[in-house]
Amino acid sequence: MPDLFSPIQLGPLEIANRIAIAPMCQYSADDGAASEWHVQHWMTLGMSGAGMVTVEMTDVERRGRISHGCLGLYSDADEAAAKRALVAAREFSIPGTKFGPQLAHAGRKASCNRPWEGGGPLSPEQDAWQTVSASAIPYDTGWHTPHALTEPEIVAMIRKFGDAARRAARVGYDFIEVHGAHGYLIHQFLSPLSNKREDDWGGSLENRMRFAIEVVREIRKAAPDLMIGIRLSVKDWVEGGLVEDETVEVAKALKSVGVSYICCSSGGNSPHQKIPVGPGYQVHLAEYVKQRVDIPVRAVGMIDEPALANSIISEGRADMTAHARAILADPRWGWRAAAALGHRIEIPPQFQRASHLVKQWATPA
Ligand SMILES: Cc1cc2nc3c(=O)[nH]c(=O)nc-3n(C[C@H](O)[C@H](O)[C@H](O)COP(=O)(O)O)c2cc1C
């Protein structure tokens, strides 16, 4: 069996193979509630052949949404809509496929336009809202200046992650991924670029990671049966920003409070970042964390070819690979990977007459 298709244990949860769908915002929700778009999207992802489907960034309160279209889990309506979409997705997904939301808060990067509407901050006429963060520092010139959360507000925010986790358990998800990356609220606390606090929640690394740790503790209390993972930006790619060795310490602390995997991404907290992108451009960051912390790591970023994904696992550089844009382009990527690597996976009988074509497309001429 190719290494990419070998099962893996993440805490209490066995995942059928090493392929994960990376979380991807769809900007198609209605006040946080999954729409018909999500029903078709999740049904498709459940049939992709990936063992793990990380549903998009799912915000724990209304003002935590990036845009008016972002998914949330802060109301009964959001919970009911997510349940409906998940039940539909599970009905036809490849048996064993695990689903989880990526619980998040956009912090100072909230109140923005959808990317296809140009992104960037909403204007007052577009129903903009007051954003929040660790410190009152905007992401960039012209962006909203966030309100620096007071200590009681931080405590209340942590509770909101717990409330959303309780809802996630009732929806029927298998796991929760915490969004600690890409310049959103948890990363805003972690990074010295955006956290200039002088209380217990800022300054030293121990203080900057306190919010992430407390969020995980609260989620564990609220949803003790769900496996918890986290996505981190391993580095900011900016002078004076978060660096690899700090993330290693954060990962160790997260493991000690019950996190079962770390998805190793990078950047997102500064417009001045310089990221050299190319195939597998963040794999070395997953490898860096893996060599120093005894916890499964997931690599992500332009891992578009099945052979590359398989070699990352075979060479022990990461334990799983996550895929985003390749899945949008080819939602049967898992089938193609199986064919390319000479592995057989079950595909629905309705589609089996196309098996030879999947195989043919997987074999370079
Ligand atoms: C449409 C789209 C939406 C995304 N939304 C999220 C998200 O909700 N949470 C997140 O952590 N990353 C998000 N990302 C980043 C991806 O998860 C992934 O890390 C990134 O695209 C690099 O992987 P890729 O080269 O396989 O696309 C998004 C990416 C895309 C293309």
Report whether residue 326 contacts ligand 1, using a CB cutoff of 6 Å.
yes
Q: What is the pLDDT of residue 362?
A: 82
* Cα(300) to centroid(ligand 1), Å: 9
**Residues in contact with 166: Cβ distance below 8 Å, sequence separation at least 6, in sequence order:** 222, 223
Domain spans in the chain, listed from the N-terminal domain onward: 3-335
* Cα(200) to centroid(ligand 1), Å: 32
Q: What is the CA radius of gyration of the chain?
A: 20
Q: What is the pLDDT of residue 345?
A: 86
Question: Which atom in ligand 1 lies closest to the alpha carbon of residue 303?
Answer: 26
Report whether residue 68 contacts ligand 1, using a CB cutoff of 6 Å.
no
Report whether residue 180 contacts ligand 1, using a CB cutoff of 6 Å.
no
Question: Which atom in ligand 1 lies closest to the alpha carbon of residue 326?
Answer: 26
* Cα(299) to centroid(ligand 1), Å: 12
Report whether residue 324 contacts ligand 1, using a CB cutoff of 6 Å.
yes
Fold assignment, 3-335: TIM Barrel (3.20.20)
> Which of 24, 184, 308 should be mutated for ligand 1, with most atoms under 8 A from CB?
24
Q: What is the pLDDT of residue 119?
A: 95
Report whether residue 265 contacts ligand 1, using a CB cutoff of 6 Å.
yes
The pTM (predicted TM-score) of the whole model is 0.98
Q: What is the pLDDT of residue 243?
A: 98
Active site residues: 184
Q: What is the pLDDT of residue 347?
A: 84
Stretches where the chain sits below pLDDT 50 are: none
Report whether residue 164 contacts ligand 1, using a CB cutoff of 6 Å.
no
* Tens-digit pLDDT profile for residues 141-180: 999 999 999 999 999 999 999 999 999 999 999 999 999 9
Amino acid present at 279:
P
